[in-house]
Amino acid sequence: MQVRTSKLGVAHYLTPEGALVQENLPALAARIQELRAGGARKLVVDLRHVPFFDSAGLEFLLDLASALREADGSLRLANPNPLCREVLTLTGLDASIPVHENLASAGSSFL
């Protein structure tokens, strides 16, 4: 899995390319660890290139949100496709992690 990163304002943006499933999570975790080691606490995961996620992917996002909250940071999700949006809603994860329709909305939510 490739993960592109960028920074705009106070937020760091991660754009993974591929499904958030068990075998792809180490690449995403490594990029997040690099960002957090550099002091990043406000992260946006751009889901535009994520076709789906499994339970490991959902747990990863939930654990990341919790870890960021403990460090006075936060996580936002952006650009979910209809399937991902439905899974987030059905599992209730969207009640724990804010989900935005686009990057602009996700980024401005930190202000």
**pLDDT for 68:** 98
The reported pLDDT for the residue numbered 93 is 96
Confirm whether pTM is higher than 0.95.
yes
Distance of alpha carbon 62 from alpha carbon 65, whole angstroms: 5
Q: Domain 2-108, what architecture? A: 2-Layer Sandwich (3.30)
Give mean pLDDT, residues 52-77: 97
Q: Which residue has the tokens 């939510």?
A: 109
pLDDT value of residue 40: 97
pLDDT digits (tens, 9 = 90+) for 7-64: 999 999 999 999 999 999 999 999 999 999 999 999 999 999 999 999 999 999 999 9
d(CA 82, CA 107): 21
CA dihedral 37, 43, 48, 51 (to 10 degrees): 70
